[in-house]
Homo-oligomer: A and B are copies of this chain.
Amino acid sequence: MTSKTQEFVQSRRNLLKTSAAAVWGSLLLSGLSPMLQAKEAPKISPKGSLPIRLMNNENPLGMSQNTKQAILDNLNNASEYLGYDKNSARTHLAENIGKNLDFKIDNVILGNGSSEVIQAAVYAFVNQARLAKKSVQIIVGDPTFEYAELYGKPTGASIIKVPVNSKMQLDIPAMQKKAQNFKGISIVYICNPNNPTGTIASAQQIENWVNASSKDILFIFDEAYAEYAGADFKSGLKYIKEGRKNILVTRTFSKIYGLAGLRIGYGIADPQVIKDLQNFIGLDNINYLAAYAGLAALADKAFAQKSIQTNEKSKKVVYDGFKELKIKYIPTYANFVFYEIKGDLKVYIDQMKSEQILVGRPFPPLLTYNRVSLGTPEEMQTFIGVLKKFRSQGKI
């Protein structure tokens, strides 16, 4: 039994030992929560420990205590629509997101995850091109996060995939050339830091392109991992502050705030761009509980800080292990690491699964690499331990 498995079994045992019925009984019958009276003692299950989830770039700390509390505080009203009232949690969340980044509420759009904002942007920009009877193409890195492509393709827009450069960075000059050679509207999807390679794009190259860009080029900067990226990373937000109207930056509560399952993300752009996007984003798109969770998460600077520190510690565990094993890896600016695996990638992924570790799926065309999300330092020690075992068994 691994130490991880022991932990898991121990936690289950504690669960069984608890005399939950008596405790809940007194709580619930006390009048605190008349809507929540259970026939049996309710239980709040602990976060599962196995398998170790290193495949989705989730936050290994889960969500913060304050965030859970916000959900409990609002559970009894979640049968109501969140609404768009100026006193609603929806409005407060958009306001606070804006304040946090020094923008106004009319620079902010909320999405059912940042993926919905990307979706709305693709539809809005493709639609603008169509109504103006112009051709439209979507330029993406290869490999990169695939949602811009997945949303764009069914619209009939051309998808232009530009391979990452030898440093595994988005090849901005090559992407720029694709736009220059096209008569029509180019939607440029820049995932920065890039998923799955973990690299940041050259800030200077981006600046050159943005400064040279006409209104026929629409940039979507997907900055889902920005909070992990450190001082070398330059956000696209500065171009919006400069007043540019062809820039959208998307960010998410799924990573640093640990709310992946709750689906909260947002976009920042010029107010006119936000209005265009509002036409293509879902009405009533924000979950009632998620809005309150988002408000609590945004206010909890200590948790965000802890997430970053945990990520740094885990990164060191993984880097040290890779160095010891002479495994090539790409230094990361996010909460995952892209590293080289010799041999059959699918076999490797399955072998990891047999060890109760879920790692990233294949990201073609880079099929000699795997993406591992950064879990807790302890989880990453387990991961490195398994890699060492695989090495001793000649599997890697």
Q: Which residues of B contact A79 (CB under 8 A)?
A: 47, 58-59, 61-63, 258-261
Contact A261 B23 (CB under 8 A): no
A325 at the interface (CB under 8 A from B): no
Partner of A76, one of B24, B62, B284: B62
A9 at the interface (CB under 8 A from B): no
Contact A262 B78 (CB under 8 A): yes
A323 at the interface (CB under 8 A from B): no
Contact A72 B47 (CB under 8 A): no
A50 at the interface (CB under 8 A from B): no
Report the Cα distance A27→B47, complex, angstroms.
Answer: 17
Q: Among A31-39, A94-102, A233-241, A335-343, which stretch is in contact with chain B?
A: A31-39
A288 at the interface (CB under 8 A from B): yes
Report the Cα distance A258→B84, complex, angstroms.
Answer: 19
Partner of A123, one of B20, B44, B48, B123: B123
Contact A82 B14 (CB under 8 A): no
Partner of A154, one of B14, B262, B280: B280
Q: Which residues of B contact A131 (CB under 8 A)?
A: 156
Contact B65 A80 (CB under 8 A): no
Known: A48-B77, A283-B115. A34 touches B62 (CB 8 A): no
A354 at the interface (CB under 8 A from B): no
A74 at the interface (CB under 8 A from B): yes
A332 at the interface (CB under 8 A from B): no
Contact A68 B17 (CB under 8 A): no
Q: Which residues of B contact A75 (CB under 8 A)?
A: 44-45, 68, 71-72
Contact A284 B113 (CB under 8 A): yes
Q: Which residues of B contact A134 (CB under 8 A)?
A: none
Contact A23 B18 (CB under 8 A): no
A112 at the interface (CB under 8 A from B): yes
Known: A15-B32, A30-B18. A47 touches B261 (CB 8 A): no
Contact B58 A76 (CB under 8 A): no
Contact B44 A285 (CB under 8 A): no
- Which residue of B is nearest A34, CB measured? B46
Q: Which residues of B contact A80 (CB under 8 A)?
A: 53, 56, 58, 260-261
CB A341 to nearest CB in B, in angstroms, measures 23
Q: Which residues of B contact A283 (CB under 8 A)?
A: 115, 119, 147, 150-151
Q: Which of A115-130 contact B (CB under 8 A)?
A: 115-116, 119, 123-124, 127, 130
Contact A287 B284 (CB under 8 A): no
A290 at the interface (CB under 8 A from B): yes
CB A150 to nearest CB in B, in angstroms, measures 6
Can you spell out 6 A-B residue pairs with CB atoms less than 8 angstroms apart?
A15-B32, A24-B27, A61-B79, A71-B71, A71-B289, A282-B282
The list of the 7 closest CB pairs from A to B, nearest first, reads: A261-B288, A14-B31, A154-B279, A78-B261, A79-B258, A47-B76, A62-B79
